[in-house]
Structure 1
Amino acid sequence: MTAKDAQKLANSKNLDLVKIAPQAKPPVCRIMDYGKYKYELAKKEKEAKKNQKVITIKEIRLSPNIEKHDIEVKANQAIKFLKNGDKVKVTLRFRGRELSNISIGKKVIDEFKNLLSEISQVEKEAKLEGKQMIMVLTPKNL
């Protein structure tokens, strides 16, 4: 069908002539109500946005010379975050001369990881980035 005939047919039905595949030889067109089509697309997109779950990242800060009870308090806070479905970023910051004893910081992070091993899994292993050691934990799918 020629473009003029298709346009006349669309005008007679009070609809729009929309090119579906303009690169094809010959171009493929469809007669439809374009306003209704755009409305349906927006409605589907809004519905998809409503159903998706937003995952936030919560941060827990530790230091190499932290006491045992303080680690347990921070672990309890991390458990709350993980139960809510959030990821937890554990940051251990070295200050001054603490940077020369990275092994102490590694032990603290490992202890923290062991406290949360039942409820979480490690997404990103502990790694030294500048003056911080960073590890990311995600909730386990039970």
Structure 2
Amino acid sequence: MAKADKVRVNGEIRAGTVRVVEPEGDHEIMDLEDALDRARDHDLDLVEIAPDAEPPVCKIIDYGKYRYKQQKQEKRQRKRSKSMQMKELRFRPRTDDHDYEFKKNHARDFLNDGNKVKAYVQFRGRDIIYKDQGMDLLRRLIEDVQDLARIDQAPQMEGRRMTTILAPHKKKK
């Protein structure tokens, strides 16, 4: 449920006395009935803006316009907040240089888009004896993308995988 749906209007307001903000910006504390009369005089609604204040703050405004502005603001906020995803890159201990470069470029693209990158080296069969090559590969990747990323999780073994997680640097506003 949106915040605007929980707002009390006119007869729904429960407080006995309220602080009323008029359309011109003037405000004063008065009984609820007087505030409702004043709102009717202006042909507008009495909308409870800050119900937790003592006394609650109510504003004399057009409720339809108020809801519209609130919905637009919520939509803008949802648009701005981008969810971060985890992208995965898989390597083998003896990954070729061309394949490494290809995957490194993918990692750079993912980081530029604001996503985290989980890079891992998969060891199969006797590959497990090449742990040092896997560590070198992940360190090389970290070094190659350090201008875009910070280390969220340092390289470590998890079963037959050596894993690291890289997160994009925080963008300065």
Q: TM-score, normalised by structure 1?
A: 0.70
Other structure's SS at 2:73 match: helix
Q: How many residues align?
A: 140
Shift of 1:68: 3.4
Shift of 1:95: 3.0
Other structure's SS at 1:61 match: strand
- Counterpart of 1:13 in structure 2 is 42
Deviates more, 1:10-19 or 1:79-88: 79-88
Decide whether the 8 Å contact of 2:39 with 2:45 is kept in 1: yes
Q: Alpha carbons of 1:3 and 1:71: their partners in 2 closer, same or farther (altered >3 Å)? A: same
Q: TM-score, normalised by structure 2?
A: 0.60
Q: Alpha carbons of 1:66 and 1:3: their partners in 2 closer, same or farther (altered >3 Å)? A: same
Other structure's SS at 2:93 match: coil
**Equivalent residue for 2:69, pick from 40, 45, 52:** 40
CA deviation profile, 1:59-111 (whole Å, cap 9, x unmatched): 22111232334323322333444455554331222334544653332122123
Aligned pairs for 1:46-61 (under 5 A) are 46-51=75-80, 56-61=85-90
Q: Alpha carbons of 1:83 and 1:6: their partners in 2 closer, same or farther (altered >3 Å)? A: closer
Percent sequence identity over aligned pairs:
39
Stretches of structure 1 that go unaligned for 5 or more consecutive residues are none
Stretches of structure 2 that go unaligned for 5 or more consecutive residues are 1-29
Note the aligned Cα RMSD (angstroms): 3.1
